[in-house]
Structure 1
Amino acid sequence: MVLRFQVLGPVRLGATAVGPRKPRAMLATLLLSANERVSLDRLVGELWDCPPRSAVANLRTYASGLRRVLGEVDAGDRLVANPAGYLLRVEPHELDLQRFQTATEAGRSALVRDDYAAAAARFREALDLWRGAPVEDVDPGPDLATRIALLEEQHLAVIEDLVEARLAVGEHAAVTADLRLLVAAHPFRERLHHQLMLALYRSGDVPAALGAYSRARAALAEQLGIEPGTQLAALHQAILRRAPELSPPGEPDPPVVAGTPVRAVAPPRQLPPDPVTFVGRARELAALRAACATAGRSPVVVVHGPSGIGKTALVIRAGHLLASRYPDGQLHLDLRGDGAGAPGVDPAHALGRLLRGLGVPPGGVPDDLAEAAATFRSQTAARRLLIVLDGASSVDQVRPLLPAGPGCAVLVTSNRPMCALDATRLRLERLGVADGTCLLGLVAGDERVAADPPMAARLVALCDGNPLALRIAGARLAARADWTLADLAGRLADERDRLDELRADDLALRSSFWASYGELAGSADPDDQAAATALRTVAALRVPEFPGAVAATMIGTSERRAVALLDRLTEANLLEAVSPTTFHVPDLLRLFLADLSQTGA
Structure 2
Amino acid sequence: MDVRLLGEVQLLAAGRELDTGTPRQQAVFAALAIDPGRPVPLATLVDRVWGDDPPAEARNVLYSHLSRIRGLLRQAAVLGDDTAGRLDRRHAGYVLDVDPDRVDLHRFGRLTDQGRDPARPAADRAAALAQALSLWRGAPLAALTGDWADGVRQAWHQRRLDAAVAWARTELRLGHPDAVIAAAPPLITEYPLAEPLEALLMEALHLAGRDAEAMDRYAAVRTRLAETLGADPGPQLRALHEALLRGEVRTPPPARTVTVPAQLPPDVYGFAGRTAQLRELDAVRTTGPARPVAIDGMAGIGKTALAVHWAHRAARHFPDGQLYVNLRGFGATGDPVAPAEALGGFLDALDVPPERIPAGVPARAGLFRSLLAGRRVLILLDNAWDADQVRPLLPGAPGCLAVVTSRNRLSGLVTTAGAHPLALALPPAGEARDLLGYRIGGRRVAAEPDAVDEIVARCARLPLALAIVATRAAVAPELRLAVLAGELREAQGGLAEFDDPDLESNVRAVFSWSYRQLSPAAAELFRRLAGHPGPDLGAPAAAALAGLPVTAVRPLLDELTRAHLLERAAGRYTLHDLLRAYATELAGTLDTEPERAAARRRVLGYYVHSAYAADLLLNPLRDEPAAEPPPLPPGTVAERPAGQPEALAWFGAEYHVMLAALRGAADDATVWRLAWALTRYLSYHGRWHDSIEALSAALAAAGRLGEPVKAAFAHRYLGCAHLRLRRLDEAGTHLAEALRLYRLAGDVAGQAHTHRHQAWLLEVRGRYREALAHAEQAVELFTAAGDPAGRGRGLNAIGWFHAMLGDYAEAVTVCRAALRLQAAAGDRFGQAETWDSLGYAGQRLGRHREAIDAYRTAVALYQEFDDRYNEADSTASLGDAYHAAGDTAAARAAWRSAADLFDLIGHPGAAAVRARADA
TM-score, normalization by structure 1: 0.41
TM-score (norm 2): 0.27
Structure number with higher relative contact order (C-alpha < 8 Å, ≥ 6 residues apart):
1
Greater share of helix residues, 1 or 2?
A: 2
Mark the structure with the bigger radius of gyration: 1
